[in-house]
Chain A
């Protein structure tokens, strides 16, 4: 199994120039219809409150499952002055995949998270469903 996930997440913070049109290639897995939380995207201010809703764009939908985005309150990881926000739930966009009942094999899809300031992150996901 591949696990360069942490690196991908860390690279997401490299800076403003790199933040434009960032693209991640991920390999993930699921067992049956187990819901998989792919990202929890937050965009917060110094007071830990959301700066605005992020939205999900499904560029290439999964053929054998459902990809959904919903506004959610959850814990996240932050650094620097925002580290204090880790001890509370913050608002964000939760992107979840769930395979179709009975499907086993590889499913592929692409989605984009669009932040309230117009920045985007793109994710190409190869999902192995056991």
Chain B
């Protein structure tokens, strides 16, 4: 999740200077299809589902990623919060220098409804500044 996408391989040199780009390098790796998550929670426990950040090469943030709730949980809530955390860009990413200090990240958090015990299911997405998304289907087992 925290590694970054490889740059698109561009074979032709004819138009390389002629670049329309969505700066995908700045973002988290995306997988094809919805990612399935199986998680557990205890009553009243805040569960960190995912966090995301988008930094440019100066470690400045693009517009913050946002959380979209596509299918809401029936027995809890998914909330969006902005918190500071360390990034962990890989050694081949020029943004690895950003790992030295904390950056603002968007968090998706889950909390079960008080008194609920059982399985809660929901779908949420991280929507990045360029409109691309990562979608997650969550099966949450809640213990009392």
The chain A residues found within 8 Å of chain B, CB to CB, are 1, 3, 5-7, 9-10, 12-16, 19, 26, 28-32, 34-46, 51, 74-82, 86-87, 97, 113, 115, 119, 121, 127, 130
Q: Considering the complex, which residues of chain B in the window 1-45 have a beta carbon less than 8 Å from any beta carbon of chain A? A: 5, 7-26, 30, 32, 34
Q: Would you list 7 pairs from A and B whose C-beta atoms are within 8 A, ordered by A residue? A: A29-B125, A29-B127, A34-B63, A40-B23, A51-B17, A78-B17, A127-B131
* Contact of A38 with B130 in the complex, beta carbons under 8 Å: yes
* Contact of B32 with A3 in the complex, beta carbons under 8 Å: yes
* Contact of B18 with A80 in the complex, beta carbons under 8 Å: no
Q: Among A3, A6, A38, A39, point to the contact of B8 (Cβ < 8 A).
A: A6
Bound complex: CA of A14 vs CA of B13, how far in Å? 9
Bound complex: CA of A115 vs CA of B20, how far in Å? 10
Bound complex: CA of A30 vs CA of B56, how far in Å? 20
| A-B residue pair count with CB separations less than 8 angstroms | 151
**B129: Cβ under 8 A from any A Cβ:** yes
Q: Considering the complex, which residues of chain B in the window 48-84 have a beta carbon less than 8 Å from any beta carbon of chain A? A: 56-58, 62-63, 66-70
* Contact of B16 with A79 in the complex, beta carbons under 8 Å: yes
